[in-house]
Amino acid sequence: MRVTAVHQDSPLRGAPPAIRLDHASFGYGGRPFTEGVNLSVAQGEVVALLGPNGSGKSTTVRGLLGLTDHIAGSVEVLGTPLQDLADRSRLGYVPQRHTLSSSVRSTVREVIATGQLASRPWWRRATAADRATVTEAADTVGLADRLDSDVATLSGGQQRRVLIARALASRPDVLIMDEPTAGVDAANQVVLATVLRRLAALGVTMLVVTHELAALRGIVDRIVEMDAGHVSFDGTPRQYAEHRAAVSRAADAGHHHHYDVHHHDDEHDEPSGVLLSGAGPMDGPVEDGES
């Protein structure tokens, strides 16, 4: 069920995938947690990584960054094996559950600029182009007017946007975000979704771990779901909606089996209405299989 967003006539056709995991296993202290993970993200593609708490999403994305133990399988970033990737700044990363400490006094501009340190030799000062990139990154996340604010005075949602801008400041080819919308209120989720939509339109490749798929409606090209350290689904948002509908029908059938034996019209069931409505498959809650 391999699907890519790169169309036949795309100039990216033939380009190596931005990310390619082949039977990858990552873990801690030399012991694997994820096993046999196959995951490929084409350049320019936006992939959502879903799955219950503890299923291995962070272990996998942190593995891609060399932050968890790489135990088996191959990991390639932009066609280069991870261990040979000299310039890690080609990967931008927004970690999970991370806001900025309120005890450190720094401005939005300073925090965003730290995103450039890894890609600049220690002896070279920021150039005018570097400074322009910082301003541009702040603008992309809608914080251009807060560049000189103390980060401690920003809300949690605004701080998440500062961290996205910091990841953008090194002009990464691939942006990996671990739950960028977690703990962000509905209004700010809309703002963040707008940021992600803007990045997608710019052609930034994104791998986004999330529990809030609805917030990313229309942005995501492909959905990968993990369960207990394995990939349990990989397909388009439409296929995912069908998959969820099938799971929930199966659960319903199990539920009603003992007292609803005359109900035999399962094979005549229409596909889930949400798929057929103009609103698209990403509308509404997706975690409704347990009802």
Ligand X SMILES: Nc1ncnc2c1ncn2[C@@H]1O[C@H](COP(=O)(O)OP(=O)(O)OP(=O)(O)O)[C@@H](O)[C@H]1O
Listing from the earlier edge strand, what are the strands of the sheet with 19-28? 31-41, 19-28, 69-77, 80-81
103 binds, among Mg ion, ligand X, none (CB under 5 to 8 A by kind): none
Q: Measured between alpha carbons, how far is 28 from 68 in angstroms, rounded to an integer?
A: 6
Residues ≥6 apart with Cβ < 8 Å to 256: 263
Residues 60-99: x where in contact with ligand X by CB under 6 A, - otherwise, as a string:
------------------------------------x---
The whole-angstrom separation of Cα 246 and Cα 239 is 10
**Residue 54 partner contact from Mg ion, ligand X, none using kind-dependent CB cut-offs of 5 to 8 Å:** ligand X
Based on the shown chain and the rule CB under 5 A, indicate whether residue 58 belongs to the binding site for Mg ion: yes
Min separation Cβ 96 and ligand X, Å: 6
Instruction: For the CB of residue 205, give the shortest distance to ligand X in the complex, in Å.
Output: 20
The alpha carbon of 196 is separated from its chain's Cα centroid by a whole number of angstroms, namely 10
Q: Give 57 or 146: the residue with its C-beta nearer to ligand X.
A: 57
Q: 201: burial class by Cβ within 10 Å (0-12, 13-18, 19+)?
A: exposed
Contact characters 21-60, ligand X, x per CB under 6 A? -------x----x-----------------x-xxxxxxx-
Which residues make Cβ contacts (< 8 Å) with residue 40, sequence separation at least 6? 2, 4, 17, 19, 20, 21
Nearest-approach distance from CB 106 to Mg ion, in angstroms: 26
Contact residues for Mg ion, defined by CB under 5 A? 57-58, 96
Contact residues for ligand X, defined by CB under 6 A? 28, 33, 51, 53-59, 96
